[in-house]
């Protein structure tokens, strides 16, 4: 239960005075649904105003506050503006122009009556004017402030109205006990939480208060992760120690690299303990993470337990299933698949096999962790591509099982150290930093879209020589429909040249249709696969040695790196062509140049963090996982290690959530909606 003290902050915005359905709709477009959302919607800049007795040339281009007296009103014909002519205290004439507000303007500025106007003073021919100034009757209400915070806005919402709503939300914010460690508080000279919040809204340049609020958000996150680790370690899992009889019979494609052997030993060491393993496995594209996961699952089966492999998409789940069947059927390991597509008898058969223990390894999408899916003895869960399985889902998985399975989370998206700390801080981390033999480097070139015809000619030569290629289309707008439309349009153009050799996959296709196209491409029945980013992870076609990415400047660096990793999987030389638009910013040029320079995924990820923010890299904006609202990437880098140490001090030295500081920290967890950790602690 949320503490009573915080309830006023979690009421919907409609509870604030003057917020009706239309205004609430505008606020929701900005993600502002409750009073607390308004508190965390910080200003991005400020307007500086000058209070002057009269207009003058030195004030042109400045925001000024003047007292004027209107003397004439003119309504333009058609869609032209309404112009109110007014004189200031020295008799200067100022034109006040209003578009689509004729009746309102005349009512607000009655002729002969003094009014205070505020806006930017501009030259319009030989006249002075203000466009859509704020209007106030002298003596009624406060004048516009000389320094006013400016907020991100949307249609139907003015800065003044949002400022008033923030003030109303601030009135609901209570004084709270301090959760920050006293030495940190003293060194940083931070104000108390409520005072810092008020100052951050009053002054966009209040760096100390903004830093304090960012720290609070990061601290809540790190404390939640530490609590998850503490509760998970407290629960007793299944010690699993295989005898190697199954892994010894595997027909491996190559000798394990030194990095793979090191990680396999780390995983086996964890699984032999009673405390459940919590390990994040990072490895660049093609580094051999899946083989490590396979050996971990065989270790579980050898010890008499079951294993489950969760894939982010149905395409990848089916590819994993086919690969495991090919490798494990010959050594007597029973593998099954479960996705949303398995229905009726097929689904019932899998569920019965899991419950009886007849199935050793289950592969699937999120369906494999639904309530109706019961395992006889689940000992290991492997999560492929971590960003689809965030903190909240890991909390739920841990809370669901009385004897939680060992957990191995894999990612081919290199994650900067800061994000590893803030998203996977409860986990131990392994990194495969060595590539297996046979992975050839991918040559990367950047080409202007003016040379699109040359690219298609080159593709024709590539196909004529027996090669296969991917052609990835960008997201044109923030909608799935336009994503598919771009791919469909490109496929139609290429089919005129390549006829029946072009396949198409995108997110709006049905699962069986996508699988059929992918299978045809993998079997070399199609030469060109036009796709959206559904092929970003996991698809493995060694004969495909050419990757063409259209509109490359619209992709994040980490995403481009993932796409490039789809080629270079066979023995032939591989190439990645990044097609860019003609209008490219300096930042855009630098980003694409970095892709040419390096294949180091971790360096690319660090740059992506600076340019795009943590939500984009981790995919949390698409998956619904809460991104940081107050902490910028720079603040994360600076404050995450400090907040992690502070959270550990609270738990190890200061009595945890039961101590005096811990009681305040509970408020922090609820305030930043990491309260699942409190519930987990209570149930654990």
Cα separation, 492 vs 215, whole angstroms = 51
- Please report the DSSP string for 163-222 in residue order: HHHHHHHHHHPPP----S-HHHHHHHTPPPHHHHHHHHHH-TT-HHHHHHHHHHHHHHHH
Q: Are 577 and 455 in contact (CB under 8 A)?
A: yes
pLDDT at res. 623: 37
Alpha-carbon dihedral angle through residues 454, 459, 464, 470, given to the nearest 10 degrees: 180
Lowest mean pLDDT among 47-56, 342-351, 391-400: 391-400
pLDDT digits (tens, 9 = 90+) for 380-433: 999 886 545 666 566 555 555 567 889 998 887 667 666 777 777 778 889 888
- Model confidence at 561, pLDDT cuts 50, 70, 90, reads confident
pLDDT at res. 484: 65
pLDDT at res. 339: 86
Instruction: Spell 236-258 as b/e; 16+ CB within 10 A means b.
Output: ebbebebeeebbeebeeeeebbe
Per-residue pLDDT averaged across 292-300, rounded?
A: 96
pLDDT digits (tens, 9 = 90+) for 162-189: 999 999 999 999 999 999 999 999 999 9
Where do the domains of the chain lie? 1-44+155-173, 45-150, 442-598
For domain 442-598, which architecture applies? 3-Layer(aba) Sandwich (3.40)
Residue 30 has pLDDT above 90, yes or no: yes
Cα separation, 677 vs 392, whole angstroms = 9
- Model confidence at 119, pLDDT cuts 50, 70, 90, reads very high
Would you state the structure tokens that stand for residue 92, as one six-digit string?
């200067």
Cα separation, 202 vs 561, whole angstroms = 42
pLDDT at res. 367: 75
Proportion of the chain above pLDDT 70, given as a percent: 90
Q: Are 180 and 191 in contact (CB under 8 A)?
A: no
Are the folds of 45-150 and 442-598 the same? no
Is the C-alpha dihedral spanning 325, 330, 332, 333 positive or negative?
A: negative
pLDDT at res. 143: 84
Cα separation, 220 vs 427, whole angstroms = 17
- Model confidence at 109, pLDDT cuts 50, 70, 90, reads very high
The CATH homologous superfamily of the domain defined by 45-150: Nucleic acid-binding proteins (2.40.50.140)
pLDDT at res. 315: 77
Looking up tokens 């060595």 gives: 434
The SS3 assignment for 295 reads: helix
pLDDT digits (tens, 9 = 90+) for 347-376: 899 999 999 999 999 999 877 777 678 889
Q: Are 290 and 264 in contact (CB under 8 A)?
A: no
Residue 504 has pLDDT above 60, yes or no: yes
- Domain 1-44+155-173 fold is DNA polymerase; domain 1 (1.10.150)
Q: Please give the mean pLDDT across all residues of the chain.
A: 86
- Model confidence at 625, pLDDT cuts 50, 70, 90, reads very low
With CA atoms as reference, report the closest residue to 133 among 43, 56, 204, 70: 70
pLDDT digits (tens, 9 = 90+) for 581-608: 888 877 788 888 889 988 887 778 777 7
Q: Are 13 and 35 in contact (CB under 8 A)?
A: yes
Cα separation, 404 vs 522, whole angstroms = 37
- Model confidence at 341, pLDDT cuts 50, 70, 90, reads confident
Burial class (CB in 10 A: 0-12, 13-18, 19+), 3: middle
Residue 481 has pLDDT above 50, yes or no: no
């Amino acid at each position: 239960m949320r503490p009573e003290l915080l309830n006023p902050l979690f009421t919907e915005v409609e509870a604030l005075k003057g917020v009706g359905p239309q205004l609430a709709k505008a606020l929701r477009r900005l993600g502002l649904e409750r009073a607390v959302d308004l508190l965390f919607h910080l200003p991005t800049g400020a307007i500086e105003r000058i209070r002057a007795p009269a207009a003058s040339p030195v004030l042109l281009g400045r925001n000024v506050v003047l007292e004027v007296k209107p003397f004439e009103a003119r309504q333009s014909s058609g869609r032209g503006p309404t112009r109110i002519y007014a004189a200031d205290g020295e008799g200067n004439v100022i034109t006040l122009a209003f578009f689509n507000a004729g009746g309102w303007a005349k009512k607000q500025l009655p002729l002969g009556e003094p009014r205070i106007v505020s806006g930017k003073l501009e030259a319009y021919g030989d006249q002075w004017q203000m466009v859509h100034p704020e209007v106030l009757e002298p003596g009624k209400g406060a004048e516009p402030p000389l320094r006013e915070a400016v907020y991100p806005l949307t249609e139907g919402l003015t800065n003044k109205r949002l400022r008033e709503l923030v003030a109303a939300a601030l009135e609901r914010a209570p004084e709270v006990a301090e959760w920050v460690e006293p030495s940190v508080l003293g060194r940083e000279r931070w104000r108390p939480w409520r005072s810092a919040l008020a100052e951050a809204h009053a002054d966009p340049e209040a760096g100390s208060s903004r830093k304090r609020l960012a720290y609070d958000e990061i601290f809540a996150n790190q404390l939640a992760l530490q609590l998850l680790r503490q509760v998970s370690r407290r629960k007793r899992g299944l010690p699993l120690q295989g005898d190697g009889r199954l892994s010894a019979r595997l027909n491996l494609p190559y000798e394990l690299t030194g990095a793979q052997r090191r990680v396999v030993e780390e995983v086996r060491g964890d699984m032999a303990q009673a405390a459940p393993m919590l390990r994040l496995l990072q490895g660049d594209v093609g580094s051999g993470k899946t083989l490590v996961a396979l050996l971990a699952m065989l270790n579980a089966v050898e010890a008499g337990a079951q294993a489950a492999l969760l894939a982010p998409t149905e395409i990848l789940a089916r590819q994993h299933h086919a690969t495991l069947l090919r490798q494990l059927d010959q050594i007597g390991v029973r593998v099954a698949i479960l996705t949303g597509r398995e229905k009726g008898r097929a689904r019932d058969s899998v569920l019965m096999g899991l419950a009886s223990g007849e199935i050793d390894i289950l592969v699937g999408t999120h369906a494999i962790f639904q309530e109706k899916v019961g395992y006889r003895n689940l000992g290991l869960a492997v999560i492929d591509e971590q960003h689809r399985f965030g903190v909240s889902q890991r909390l739920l998985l841990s809370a669901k099982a009385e004897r939680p399975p060992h957990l191995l989370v894999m990612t081919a998206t290199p994650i900067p150290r800061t994000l590893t700390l803030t998203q996977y801080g409860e986990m131990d981390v392994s990194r495969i930093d060595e590539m297996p033999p046979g992975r050839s480097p991918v040559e990367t070139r950047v080409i202007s879209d003016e040379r699109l015809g040359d690219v298609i000619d080159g593709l024709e030569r590539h196909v004529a020589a027996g090669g296969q290629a991917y052609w990835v289309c960008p997201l044109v707008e923030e909608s799935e429909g336009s994503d598919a439309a771009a791919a469909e349009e490109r496929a139609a153009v290429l089919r005129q040249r390549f006829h029946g050799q072009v396949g198409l996959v995108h997110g709006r296709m049905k699962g069986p249709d996508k699988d059929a196209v992918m299978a045809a491409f993998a079997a070399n029945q199609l030469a060109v696969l036009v796709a959206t980013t559904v092929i970003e992870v996991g698809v493995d076609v060694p004969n495909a040695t050419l990757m063409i990415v259209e509109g490359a400047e619209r992709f994040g660096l980490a995403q481009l790196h993932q796409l490039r990793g789809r080629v270079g999987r066979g023995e032939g030389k591989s190439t990645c062509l990044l097609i860019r638009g003609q209008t490219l910013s300096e930042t855009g040029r630098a980003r694409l140049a970095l892709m040419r320079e390096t294949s180091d995924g971790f360096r690319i990820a660090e740059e992506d963090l600076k340019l795009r923010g943590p939500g984009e890299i981790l995919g949390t904006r698409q998956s619904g996982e809460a991104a940081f609202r107050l902490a910028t990437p720079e603040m994360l880098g600076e404050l995450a290690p400090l907040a992690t140490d502070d959270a550990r001090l609270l738990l190890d030295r200061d009595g945890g959530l039961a101590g005096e500081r811990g009681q305040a920290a509970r408020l922090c967890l609820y305030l930043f909606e990491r309260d699942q950790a409190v519930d987990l602690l209570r149930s654990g």
